């Protein structure tokens, strides 16, 4: 009887186990999880609601050194396959735009359905069991954990990266993959907040503003996004910041000068903003600049923006030259914030970088170096943007590896 060992009971590992057991009902499938429970991270996804996939599924929503690999996997197992898989577990879903969530809006529903299926299929789950060592034997693999040693014919490495390690993934999977001869690209935090060097907006912490953010390496724009930016005491957060954060993190890793340019008025051009301000002056010449801008910007942003443009808060509007307003408009559209760091792996949702994808088969995720070894999920050098793409990656790679490890076409 074939023994399939899954190291890591997270999103990719649980799907891999289910698909392996469904494919070969005689296989003995077991999961080794270092935490006290499986799927801890799943519970935290989507703010506890689990954004499990996205209707707009395309390779462009991912980053990797090897984009063909990403496209190939999504072709094999796309958004509809995810829906079909979860339907088979009994999950009803709902949509917010293109984002897909469980109908219950509870991540725990997703985990519970996975758990029930693991139970139904008789998959053995060993929790509190960290894998310390993986080695090849004449007959397959030897897996040494804290508790005991296991033997397996096939092994699926599904340990995740090292983002949010309080939820499980602590980076030990990279070491296990490397011990089997694999190599990796540098790993940096992604989908993470950014720390601004001496942030001029620290006093505006708590403000949420619709803005465009652009990741800059020196003067070169690398990526941009638009949406609700949150100002924090240490820097900036919010979905658009998350979306560009992997570029900043990679640049910082390479010791490049990284900054974020914020456009606080994305709905107008600089000229339109200037005209708006100039027209607004008429009849308001005696107002202070602070009062004059009330109604245009968030109250807490006004002193910070004026300060940057070197306009005093209590100066009368009539006394401020057009040139000064020009400079003010320019800065509102192009506020450069130097980034000193990200908020670290512990606050990141995913990792960018990881095991080189060229080293695994693009259809089955089997190692090109070690027969019977598979590497899936976030361990690989693939990261998605916000919106259900990272879980999709975990489900897809887990599914394909599980099916191949069991060695038969799917269909039980
Ligand atoms: C707060 C938060 C919110 C998120 N929200 C979303 C979202 O809404 N949508 C989305 O698409 N993505 C989201 N993500 C990202 C998504 O959760 C991950 O990309 C995905 O879980 C990765 O799956 P994985 O199976 O590769 O790794 P993980 O889910 O991290 O699972 C790896 C498992 O392996 C175990 N493990 C690691 N090393 C060992 C070892 N040596 N021995 C035994 N066990 C080990 C870990 O304990 C863990 O349980 C979010 C992430 C975070 C942190």
Torsion 39-45-49-50 (CA) sign: negative
Does the beta carbon of 45 lie inside 6 Å of ligand 1? yes
What residue owns the CA closest to ligand 1's atom 52? 349
Does the beta carbon of 355 lie inside 6 Å of ligand 1? no
Q: Is the pLDDT of residue 245 over 50?
A: yes
What's the CA-to-centroid distance between 325 and ligand 1, angstroms? 48
Does the beta carbon of 33 lie inside 6 Å of ligand 1? yes
At 286 the pLDDT is 96
Give the C-alpha separation, 260 to 237, whole Å: 12
What residue owns the CA closest to ligand 1's atom 11? 388
What residue owns the CA closest to ligand 1's atom 49? 10
- Indicate the domain borders of the chain: 3-185+352-406, 193-343
Q: What is the 3-state secondary structure (H, E, C) of the chain?
A: CCEEEEECCCHHHHHHHHHHHHHCCCCEEEEECCCCCCCHHHHHHHHHCCCCEECCCCHHHEECCCHHHHHHHHHHCCHHHHHHHHHHHCCCEEEECCEEEECCCCHHHHHHHHHHHHHHCCCEEECCCCEEEEEEECCEEEEEECCCEEEECEEEECCCCCCCHHHCCCCHHHHHHHHCCCCEEEEEEECCCEEECCCCCHHHCCCEEEEEEEEEECCEEEEEEEEEEEECCCEEECHHHHHHHHHHHHHHHCCCCEEEEEECCCCCCHHHHHHHHHHHHCCCCCCEHHHHCECCECCCCHHHHHHHCCCCCCCEHHHCCHHHHHHHHHHHHCEEEEEEEECCHHHCCEEEEEECHHHECCCCCEECCCCCEEECHHHECCEECCCCHHHHHHHHHHHHHHHHHHCCCCCC
Pick the CATH number of 3-185+352-406 from 3.50.50.60, 3.30.70.1400, 2.40.40.20, 3.40.1370.10: 3.50.50.60
Residue-wise pLDDT tens digits, 47-66: 999 999 999 999 999 999 99
Does the beta carbon of 377 lie inside 6 Å of ligand 1? yes
Over residues 357-373, mean pLDDT: 97
Over residues 237-257, mean pLDDT: 98
What residue owns the CA closest to ligand 1's atom 35? 8
Whole-model pTM over 0.75: yes
Over residues 328-332, mean pLDDT: 98
Contacts of 331 (CB under 8 A, 6+ apart): 305, 308, 309
pLDDT band at 147 (very low <50, low <70, confident <90, very high): confident
Does the beta carbon of 244 lie inside 6 Å of ligand 1? no
What's the CA-to-centroid distance between 51 and ligand 1, angstroms? 13
What's the CA-to-centroid distance between 31 and ligand 1, angstroms? 15
pLDDT band at 412 (very low <50, low <70, confident <90, very high): very low
Give the C-alpha separation, 347 to 384, whole Å: 16
Does the beta carbon of 235 lie inside 6 Å of ligand 1? no
Contacts of 233 (CB under 8 A, 6+ apart): 199, 202, 205
What's the CA-to-centroid distance between 164 and ligand 1, angstroms? 8
- From the centroid of its chain, how far is CA 221? 21
Over residues 173-177, mean pLDDT: 98
Does the beta carbon of 191 lie inside 6 Å of ligand 1? no
Pocket test for ligand 1, best of 348, 389, 391 (most atoms within 8 A of CB): 391
Over residues 308-337, mean pLDDT: 97
Asked if 4 and 27 count as a contact pair (C-beta separation under 8 A), the reply is yes
């Amino acid at each position: 009887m074939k023994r399939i060992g899954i190291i890591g009971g997270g999103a990719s590992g649980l799907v891999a186990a289910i698909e392996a057991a469904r494919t070969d009902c005689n296989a003995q499938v077991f999961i080794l999880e270092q935490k006290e429970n499986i799927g801890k991270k799943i519970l935290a996804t989507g703010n506890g609601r689990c954004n499990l996939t996205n209707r707009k599924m395309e390779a462009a929503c991912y980053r990797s050194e090897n984009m063909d690999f990403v496209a190939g996997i999504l072709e094999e197992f796309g958004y509809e396959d995810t829906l079909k898989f979860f339907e088979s577990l009994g999950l009803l879903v709902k949509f917010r735009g293109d984002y897909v969530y469980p109908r219950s809006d509870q991540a725990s529903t997703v985990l519970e359905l996975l758990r029930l299926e693991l139970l139904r299929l008789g998959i053995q789950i060993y929790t509190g069991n960290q894998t310390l060592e993986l080695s090849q034997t004449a007959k397959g693999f030897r897996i040494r954990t804290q508790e005991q040693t296991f033997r397996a014919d096939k092994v699926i490495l599904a340990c995740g990266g090292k983002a949010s390690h309080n939820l499980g993934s602590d980076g030990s999977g990279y070491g296990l993959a490397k011990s089997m001869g694999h190599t990796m690209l540098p790993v940096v935090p992604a989908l993470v907040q950014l720390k601004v060097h001496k942030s001029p907006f620290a006093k505006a912490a708590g403000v949420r503003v619709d803005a465009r953010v652009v990741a800059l390496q020196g003067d070169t724009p690398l990526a941009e996004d638009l949406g609700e930016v949150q100002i924090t005491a240490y820097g900036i957060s919010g979905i658009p910041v998350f979306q560009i954060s992997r570029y900043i993190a990679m640049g910082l890793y390479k010791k490049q000068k990284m900054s974020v340019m914020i456009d606080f008025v994305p709905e107008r051009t600089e000229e339109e903003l200037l005209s708006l301000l100039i027209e607004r002056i008429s009849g308001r010449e005696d107002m202070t600049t602070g009062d004059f801008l009330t109604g245009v910007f968030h109250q807490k942003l006004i002193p910070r923006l004026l300060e940057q443009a070197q306009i005093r808060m209590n100066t009368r509007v009539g006394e401020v030259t057009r040139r000064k307003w020009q400079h003010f408009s320019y800065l509102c559209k192009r506020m450069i914030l130097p980034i000193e760091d990200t908020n670290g792996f512990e606050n990141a949702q995913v990792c960018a970088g990881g095991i080189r994808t060229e080293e695994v088969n693009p259809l089955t995720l089997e190692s090109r170096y070690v027969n019977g070894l598979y590497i899936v999920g976030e361990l690989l050098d693939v990261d998605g943007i916000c919106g259900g793409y990272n879980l999709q990656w975990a489900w897809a790679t887990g599914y394909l590896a599980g099916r191949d490890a069991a060695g038969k076409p799917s269909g039980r």
